[in-house]
Structure 1
Amino acid sequence: MLGGIGTALDLIFWILSIIAFGMSAWALFHALRTPARAFAVAGKQTKKLWTIILSLSTLFSFASAVGYFGIGLGQLNIFAIAAVIAAGIYLADVKPAVGDSGKGGNSGPYGPW
């Protein structure tokens, strides 16, 4: 019975690690595509700093995800949790702020006109 619980928990943690990697990779991809000027206009940290933070976040979350196959860190740990927090902060706070900085002023309630 105990082996079944351990296997189910391993599967859940592996799925969470894959989700964390996807979230970190998505945040990194967005940060790389966003112009550096947008970060300054939005009043956020520099693009260079966010790129470094999100690169490390993606690296640690990837290492945690493949760790279940005996290659990486092996399990969810403090680095994987920090990676999720960093990517979450970027996606919840920075991404909406820098995304709005490139919009023009001639848009109506249903889009540009």
Structure 2
Amino acid sequence: MNVLEHLDSLVLFVIGIAAAPVAAYAFIHALRQRSDAFTAVGKLTKNAWLGITGASAFFMLLIPLFGALTSVSYAGFWGVVAAFQGPGSSMTLFWLAGVVAVSVYIVDVKPAIVGVQGGGQRW
């Protein structure tokens, strides 16, 4: 197979491989924070962000695995790559929404929460 024919799939695969651990990190970070810190910075509640980041991590980890395991045509490396997006997955929209939600948490919510708690806790 020519790699250039599947460049878009490979790019989304790399994003998926990078985004899944980031989603797990975002969930763990939200879990470790005080609940009043979320409302102090004018963001959604802690439980809301736990639900958002938890669902995002779930979809980012489960969708490719489910797609690769449920279809015989997904055997091998290219099957796992194809499971991340496009015609290989009917859940691509959920995966993409998870990437966006985790990105919002990491870029917007996490710095605000760390700042309101004194900035000492970087993890």
Question: TM-score w.r.t. structure 2 length?
Answer: 0.70
**In structure 2, what is the equivalent of residue 98 of structure 1?**
113
Percent same amino acid at aligned positions?
29
Unaligned runs of 5+ in 2: 71-79, 86-91
Q: CA shift at 1:36, angstroms?
A: 0.4
**In structure 1, what is the equivalent of residue 17 of structure 2?**
18
**In structure 1, what is the equivalent of residue 73 of structure 2?**
none
**In structure 2, what is the equivalent of residue 81 of structure 1?**
96
User: 3-state DSSP class of the match of 1:70?
Assistant: helix
Q: CA shift at 1:68, angstroms?
A: 6.1
Q: How many residues align?
A: 102
Aligned equivalents of 2:17 and 2:45: distance in 1? 27
**In structure 1, what is the equivalent of residue 45 of structure 2?**
46
**In structure 2, what is the equivalent of residue 108 of structure 1?**
none
Which stretch shows the higher mean deviation, 80-89 or 5-14? 5-14
Q: RMSD of the alignment, in Å?
A: 2.4
More helix by share: 2
Aligned equivalents of 1:17 and 1:68: distance in 2? 13
Unaligned runs of 5+ in 1: 105-113
1:64 is aligned to 2:63: yes
AA aligned opposite 1:60: F
Q: Which has the larger radius of gyration?
A: 1
Per-residue CA distance 1:57-90 (angstroms, 9 max, x = gap): 0011102343563359922211111001000111
Question: TM-score w.r.t. structure 1 length?
Answer: 0.76
